[in-house]
Structure 1
Amino acid sequence: MYFGLTFGRKVLLKKADVWLRCMCSVSKNDIKPLEYIRNIGISAHIDSGKTTLTERILYYTGKISKMHEVKGKDNVGATMDSMELERQRGITIQSAATYTIWKDHNINIIDTPGHVDFTVEVERALRVLDGAVLVLCAVGGVQSQTLTVNRQMKRYNVPCLAFINKLDRLGANPFKVLDNMRSKLGHNAAFLQLPIGKESNVKGIVDLIHRKAIYFNGDFGDIIEYGEIPEDMKNQVEEKRMELIEHVSNVDEILGEMFLEEKTPSEKEIKEAIRRTCIKKQFTPVLLGTALKNKGVQPLLDAVLSYLPNPGEVENYALKETDNGKTEKVLLNSSRNGSHPFIALAFKLEAGRFGQLTYMRCYQGKLSKGDTIYNFRTSKKVRLSRLVRLHADQMEDVDEIYAGDIFALFGVDCASGDTFILDRRLNISLESIFVPDPVVSMSINPVNTKDRDNFSKAIARFTKEDPTFRFQYDSDNKESIVSGMGELHLEIYAQRMQKEYNCPVNLGKPKVAFRETLVSPFEFDYFHKKQHGGQGQYARVIGILEPLPPNENTNLDFVDETSGPNVPKQFIPGIIKGFKMMAEKGLYSGHRISGVRMRLLDGAHHIVDSSELAFILATQGAIKQAYEEAAWQILEPIMEVEVVVPTEFQGPVMGQFNKRSGIISGSEGTADWVTIYAEVPLNSMFGYAGELRSLTQGKGEFSMDYVRYSPTTPETQEKVVMNYLESTGQLQAYLDAKKSSNKNL
């Protein structure tokens, strides 16, 4: 069996030699210069081939000796899908880290999930990466989760390459995918390669920069052969090469001047221009291939080295508190000489075989085994007995870690997003990770009461590992509630409790995270006074509660517009606290208040009897007054749903969206398949997976992503309110009061 590399016309190396070379080059004392390090993530919509691509990368770089498939038909499964549930379902649930060597470069790779329910795994991966590979399906193109991943890359300023995968599939059209990237994602993108052949007849790719055809031969595509461009493609190659130069020239001054002067840039000048613009996120190089058929992966690895930044080319900032209490940004130094203070971010927690495993990214300085580090948030210290590099569920001990490295520690008590420092006097921290709010809640309880201890252990572990998985006890309904990003998210954790803790659980009917908001502004003037011997309570708050614009209806806002001494500034935090406490559970339907701004205009205090508690109670009283006198409405999460079905089922599928109160926003497709886009309330989407399967004879697929909160229909609003009143025992009193008011009318 042989292994091929991309340099030379046809180079054959025994795989055993490559394996030995890779193992030797990751010795414990190996300190690579920054220029030889890449930290990348593989991100995409679900089922675009991320994990398959990562498996090929590990194989071609000699990290693994045999490739396995995602579905695990050989009862092994992909290397990066180390969890049993991942192999059973054929999906990635947790992001997994690994490292490998390609052309003497260290590449740290994080393979992320594609399903929206596990979006926090993508968030924390992109937070610590310097570059990414955005994988797109040659048939599906830009899909709903592709848009989400694209937004996440923008949030963390991560430059990316695009890899259009699955060229071998029926209906593959990379040219349409490129158009989607430009129109839907807003990328200034162009091909670096073109396919030789179509669909199942894809033979290889053409490198536009070097004007060479590349073929992937051998049983596993590991023998690279370069050849001349096919005659029937020469005109197309020149046309697309010029298009590439034009797109790069538009955002690069050096190449732009050459283009205007009608000079022909060399291959080296084109590659340097692509690198400059890619790092600045002004241009996205597009590569092609089919990971499953072992084509196009090695050139992608070359592109990672050529165009994505090393840790020294990315500006990373920390936050430092100044003497006057303000926060300023400080640029970190990523040099690997170890002369700067150590600072790292914990971005992922996982229960390992030897206790809690904490994934970290070192941004500055050096860390050695035996050092003592401090958690900036808690000030707790921990002495390091072990430093490891990760390869999926395997690990390798190392003695030292430098800036730019991704590593892991054992037994560190922390939360996701904590900053760690070596010098406790260093008053500096890193920006944490964006965590989206859960959108689905379900009741949960162990099947057997004797499993309560295991249930508690599982909940404690999972809520610590995953900030989007939350647990609370509802004292009104006397039930335990778990919240997450979707039905699949909660279902996976229920299965993990049974498999990992021997604690089967029952999940109740899903509950949607509705919100309550004001319909129109309400002026309040609430006076709280209580005297019962000793110091009393005295507080008055005057102001306006007003709804926020629709694009801000998930926020809460407080504005202090007071002037003068009527409400002393030391009581303002108490008013804010009272407002937020009431917002946790509204009185209309029991859901959180959002989309409301509280403007404090005036008030009154007493020199002796006023306190923070008095102003908390006064604020709560003002909110209760608003519930009695103002108009309120229920908001519900709206999901963007994308369904791919055979054309023959288009009518019934669109009809189902209408029944579910959905609005169809568009459709596109070919003669055989159609993609339907719709916006549907999450409350109407439960059970849709089974319905779609029955409607389309099991051929339909769908995905959905959160878009916004919008007012519910009057019918849904009344149902939600009635359910809440019934659960709290207030329904009969409400119906009696309503009946009485109708009689008076």
Structure 2
Amino acid sequence: MLFYSGLSHCLGEVHKGDTITDYMPQERERGITITSAAVTLPWKKHRINVLDTPGHVDFTIEVERCLSVIDGSVVILDASAGVEAQTMTVWRQADKFFVPKLVYLNKMDKSTANLTLCRQSLEKLGAKPLQIHLPIYEGKTFIGLADIVDMQKYVWSPHSDSGKHFDIISLDPKRDENIFDLCCKNREDLISFLSDIDERLSDHVIHCDKLIDVPSNVILNALRFATIKNLAHPVLCGSSYKNIGVQVLMDAILKYLPSPFERKNEIIRFYGDKLCLLVFKIIHHKILGQLTFARIYSGNLAPSSKVYNVNRGTYEKIHKIYIPFADEFKEVSFLNAGNIVVLSGLKFSFTGDTLTSSIDAMNEAKQRFYENTSSMVDEYKPVLVGIEAPIPVFFCSIEAPSPSKQKDLEKALENLEREDPSLTVTTSSESGQTIISGMGELQIEILKDRLLKEYKIEAFLGPLQISYRESIDESVEETTIVNKIVGGIRNDIEVTLRLKPKINAGIPKKIKVIGNQENDLRKLKFDRIKAIENGMALALNNGPILGFGVVDLEVELLDLKITSKTTNSMLSAAISQCIGNALKKSSPFLLEPVMKLEISFPEKYTKVILSTLSPRRSIIEEIEKKDGYNVIHALTPLSELRNYATEIRTVTSGMANLSMKLWCYQKMNEAEQRKAIESVFGFV
């Protein structure tokens, strides 16, 4: 896309490690995308902001943060494999943000490319795939595609190595008899589906003698409407490696995906024409310092201007603004709504923060919200929807190579944690060690490599451990009495709480206050409730078995006796103590992370792969057959998957492909729980 738009003078290739958007050394060494990259490119008098995202499950946060700011997406599938495990995750993430989608079937030059397989796998996702391209072959060579909307074929010369030049020819029933009838049949199916959605198209169908006579522009408008409303997903095809179909894909982005003005965020209307941005990514550039990536939703932006962070309640000053080109940045003097912008000078903004021009602009937006919703929520802030960081499933200790490097390590980890919301850095209250938690082995490995190459710190990592969760089996009530004098103030507190098991509840964020005529809980002020919830959060962060977070329960406040002099900090401490005591009495147990696996491999290795899964407590859900390959779908505890990717590559001579994602947390039996405790403490 960069080459055809004129921004690049050469074609990069993933397997050669010279692509522009995969600019990190770790990406080029491994031939994979690790971090999202932004590029703004011109195409036919339009500007397209491209965000290239990773496909590996360890870096799913990169996909999430990009989906939060884009107007449309292109889902790229291997035409011989169809929808794979990580595709399902990304598709559901896009659905969460209501992002319209095009589907691009890449690698149509492969002999195993299968349109029917791809369409069926998309339908299993709940998608409505509408085939608008059909591949054209000369013998067994993929040379182009037919567009059934405009009934034209696009043909590339097999002798062209750049793919810049191709012929556009109208389909002819005599000359193109091999594909013309199939195009007509697909066009009729397309019109039949769209006419139920678009009235203008249905009017043309009624007045046309033949469906082939329905004008292309009417079909295009109906298809664009269906795509923007997420009612359908146009399916295109091509071969990026052979340089076939990329320009047609870029045309389709303009034709079918919405412009920034066609997809208005609900919150944006409250800001009117005032400046409103959403921060979605932060990086630390070795020359430019901290750079903040943001999407401008409304208003205009210029350098040296002040912005107000709605989430943090602080003002910051922008020094310079840039347009991104992967790891290069072009300074500009002005940008308006719809653009992806890179800002220097911001120190206190985080991923997911909303920025506006002033506190007055925020208050005006807040007032418009009240007028439109008839709501008087004092704590409401007119903020755009950010991202939700995934739950870390691995953790390990990290140490500096020497005491002199400790501060450098802390600063480096602070930067890396700010860049990646799925990475958490904490300090153990017992040992004082620094603990890093993340999504997988590869993420931790990349972090260690970046510390060495970017920050010149040869950090030592402890053994990688599983991040379990804890929960309870039975309801329990607990009363705690605190009488303490702190700072000359007497704190008298008597609190009664109830813990109740609740399936799939996650970690509770709010406490359930059981107010009645016998207690004064209905009169609790907001600051007191906040203090109670802070105490609850503190207690539930450290379970009684191994100190992991406690989930799947409900906390009820049954009674609370305090005086006006009781401090909020002491109230939080009393709540935390009460919950801690209750957890020990409530038959706590461990929950382990279970991963959903998808393993594809040649059929001859079926028995070998199954033999590697059976001792790993795996549940085989399904075995599919895809053109000489088998695909096993299985659920397996994460603790059983250490070095599994290496093992299956070894036993299949590198022919197997493994993808996995977190599926759920499940209760461990007593034997497995004893093993887990022993692996952490060295004894039960």
Q: Secondary structure at the match of 1:721?
A: helix
The answer on whether the counterparts of 1:167 and 1:198 sit within 8 Å (CA) in structure 2 is no
In 1, are the aligned partners of 2:317 and 2:346 still within 8 Å (CA)? no
Q: Indicate whether 1:701 and 2:641 are aligned.
A: no
8 A contact 1:538–1:614 mirrored in 2: no
Does the 8 Å contact 2:5/2:43 carry over to 1?
Answer: yes
2:238 alignment partner AA: G
- Alignment partner, residue 416 of structure 1: 351
Q: Is the 8 A contact 2:303 2:334 kept in 1?
A: yes
The separation in 1 between residues aligned to 2:507 and 2:318, in whole angstroms, is: 42
Q: TM-score, normalised by structure 2?
A: 0.90
Distance 1:632 1:104, change over 3 A: same
Instruction: Pick closer, same or farther for the CA change 1:477–1:695 going to 2, 3 Å.
Output: farther
CA distance in 2, matches of 1:538, 1:210: 79
CA distance in 1, matches of 2:331, 2:487: 67
Per the alignment, in what secondary structure is the counterpart of residue 542 of structure 2? coil
Q: Determine the structure 1 residue equivalent to 2:461.
A: 507
1:439 corresponding residue in structure 2: 393
Cα distance in 2 for partners of 1:224, 1:586 equals 64
Instruction: Give the fraction of aligned pairs with identical amino acids, expressed as a percent.
Output: 30
- 1:390 is aligned to 324
Q: State the match for 2:282 in structure 1.
A: 349
Alignment correspondent of 2:244: 295
Residues 1:626 and 2:582 are matched in the alignment: yes
Select the residue among 156, 160, 167 that pairs with 1:225. 167
Structure-1 residue corresponding to 2:335: 401
Paired position in structure 2 for 1:118 = 59
SS at match of 2:14: coil
Structure 2 partner of 1:239: 185
Deviation by residue 1:259-281 (Cα, 9 ceiling, x = unmatched)? 57776331111000001111111
Q: Which amino acid aligns with 2:626?
A: T
Q: Which moved more, 1:390-399 or 1:365-374?
A: 365-374
CA distance in 2 between partners of 1:429 and 1:104 (Å): 33
Which residue of 454, 457, 467 maps to 2:408? 454
Could you tell me how far apart the structure 1 residues matched to 2:49 and 2:490 are? Answer: 62
**Letter of the structure 2 residue corresponding to residue 304 of structure 1:** I
Aligned: 1:164 with 2:117: no
Distance 2:340 2:532 in 1: 43
Between 605-614 and 272-281, report the one with greater CA deviation. 605-614
CA–CA distance in structure 2, aligned partners of residues 572 and 174 of structure 1: 57
Q: How does 1:182-197 map to 2 (within 5 A)?
A: 182-183=123-124, 185-197=125-137
Partner of 1:179: 120
CA contact (8 A) 1:538 1:611 kept: no
Aligned-partner Cα distance in 1 for 2:483–2:155: 83
C-alpha separation in 1, matches of 2:607 and 2:95: 37
- Which one is further off, 679-688 or 539-548? 539-548
Q: Aligned equivalents of 2:395 and 2:139: distance in 1?
A: 43
Contact 2:81–2:626 at 8 Å: present in 1 too?
no
Query: Residue 563 of structure 1 aligns with which residue?
Result: 516
Equivalent residue letter for 2:514: E
Task: Indicate the SS of the match to 2:231.
Answer: coil
Cα RMSD after superposing both structures: 2.3
Greater alpha carbon shift after TM alignment, 464-473 vs 572-581: 572-581
Relative distance call for 1:592 and 1:312 in structure 2 (3 A) is same
Give the Å deviation of 1:232. 1.9
Matched, 1:359 2:293: yes
| Rounded Cα–Cα distance in structure 2 between residues aligned with 1:381 and 1:616 | 31
Q: Deviations over 1:67-100 (max 9, x none)?
A: 1211226xxx101111111111111111111111
Q: Which residue of 1 aligns with 2:7?
A: 63
Unaligned runs of 5+ in 2: 363-381
Rate the CA distance shift 1:198–1:93 in 2: closer, same or farther, 3 A: farther
User: Residue 44 of structure 1 corresponds to which residue in structure 2?
Assistant: none
Aligned-pair distance for 1:555? 4.7
d(CA) in 1 for partners of 2:557, 2:89: 37
* Inter-CA distance 262–598: structure 2 relative to 1 (3 Å threshold): farther
- Residue of structure 2 equivalent to 1:668: 624
Contact kept? 2:539, 2:577, Cα under 8 Å: no
Instruction: Measure how far apart 1:405 and its partner are.
Output: 1.1
1:463 maps to amino acid: E
1:370 match = 304
Deviation digits for residues 121-141 of structure 1, max 9, x if unmatched?
Answer: 111111111111111111221
Counterpart check, 1:315 vs 2:250: no
Q: How many positions carry a matched residue from both structures?
A: 650
The match for 1:214 is 154
**1:207 deviation in Å?**
0.9
Q: 1:519 to 1:198 in 2, by over 3 A?
A: farther
CA drift at 1:211: 1.8
Measure how far apart 1:257 and its partner are.
5.3
Do the aligned residues in 2 keep the contact of 1:72 with 1:88 (CA within 8 Å)? no
Look up the SS of the partner of 2:591 in the other structure: strand
Q: What do the CA deviations read for 1:310-339 (whole angstroms, capped 9, x no partner)?
A: 010001133xxxxxxxxxx84455xxxxxx
| Secondary structure, aligned partner of 1:157 | coil
Secondary structure at 2:418 match in 1: helix
Distance 1:88 1:617, change over 3 A: closer
Q: Which moved more, 1:199-208 or 1:668-677?
A: 199-208
Rate the CA distance shift 1:332–1:707 in 2: closer, same or farther, 3 A.
farther
The answer to whether the Cα contact below 8 Å between 1:163 and 1:286 also exists between their aligned partners in 2 is yes
In structure 2, C-alpha distance between the alignment counterparts of 1:670 and 1:559, rounded to whole Å = 51
Contact 2:494–2:561 (CA<8 Å) still a contact in 1?
yes
| Alignment partners' CA distance in 2, 1:175 and 1:251 | 24
Could you say if the C-alpha distance between residues 479 and 611 of structure 1 is closer, same or farther in structure 2, counting changes exceeding 3 Å? closer
Distance 1:310 1:354 in 2: 31
- Give the stretch that moved more between structures: 570-579 or 394-403: 570-579
| Number of the residue aligned with 1:476 | 430
Q: CA deviation at 1:608?
A: 6.0
The match for 1:46 is none
Structure 1 residue 543 displacement after superposition:
3.9
Secondary structure of 1:429's counterpart equals coil
**Which string of whole-angstrom CA distances, capped at 9 and with x for unpartnered residues, describes residues 580-632 of structure 1?**
1110111122111111101223x242546755345434433432332342211
1:201 corresponding residue in structure 2: 141
State the 1:162 CA deviation: 0.7
CA spacing shift, 1:457–1:256, aligned 2, 3 Å: same
Higher alpha-carbon deviation: 255-264 or 107-116: 255-264
Instruction: Name the structure 2 match of 1:108.
Output: 49
> Per-residue deviation at 1:533?
12
Q: Equivalent residues in 2 for 1:78-89 (5 A)?
A: 78-89=19-30
Q: Relative to structure 2, which stretch is displaced further, 616-625 or 470-479?
A: 616-625
Residue aligned with 1:150, SS: helix
Structure 1 pair 251–558 and aligned structure 2 pair: CA distance change class (3 A): farther
1:513–1:591 CA contact under 8 A, matched in 2: yes
Alpha-carbon displacement from aligned partner over 1:490-544 (angstroms, at most 9, x marks no partner): 1101001111111112222222221110112223334444579965433233342
8 Å CA contact 2:594, 2:664 repeated in 1: yes
* Separation of aligned partners in 1, 2:156 and 2:425: 50
* Distance (Å, rounded) in 2 between the aligned partners of 1:358 and 1:412: 7
Instruction: Quickly say closer, same or farther: Cα 1:654–1:170, change in 2 above 3 A.
Output: farther
SS of structure 2 residue aligned to 1:407: strand
The match for 1:20 is none
Q: Is the 8 A contact 2:475 2:500 kept in 1?
A: yes
Aligned partners of 1:585 and 1:592 also within 8 Å: yes
Given that 1:205 and 1:289 are in contact with CA atoms closer than 8 Å, whether structure 2 keeps it comes out as yes
Q: Does the residue aligned with 1:311 lie in a helix, a strand or coil?
A: coil
Secondary structure in structure 1 of the residue aligned to 2:51: strand
- Matched with 2:375 is none
Q: 1:277 to 1:477 in 2, by over 3 A?
A: same
Work out the CA distance in 2 between the residues paired with 1:366 and 1:545: 51
Counterparts in 2 of 1:609 and 1:312: CA distance versus 1, 3 Å:
closer
| 8 Å CA contact 1:357, 1:408 repeated in 2 | yes
Q: Where does residue 633 of structure 2 map in the other structure?
A: 677
Instruction: Summarize the Cα distance change of 1:532–1:600 in structure 2 as closer, same or farther, 3 Å threshold.
Output: closer
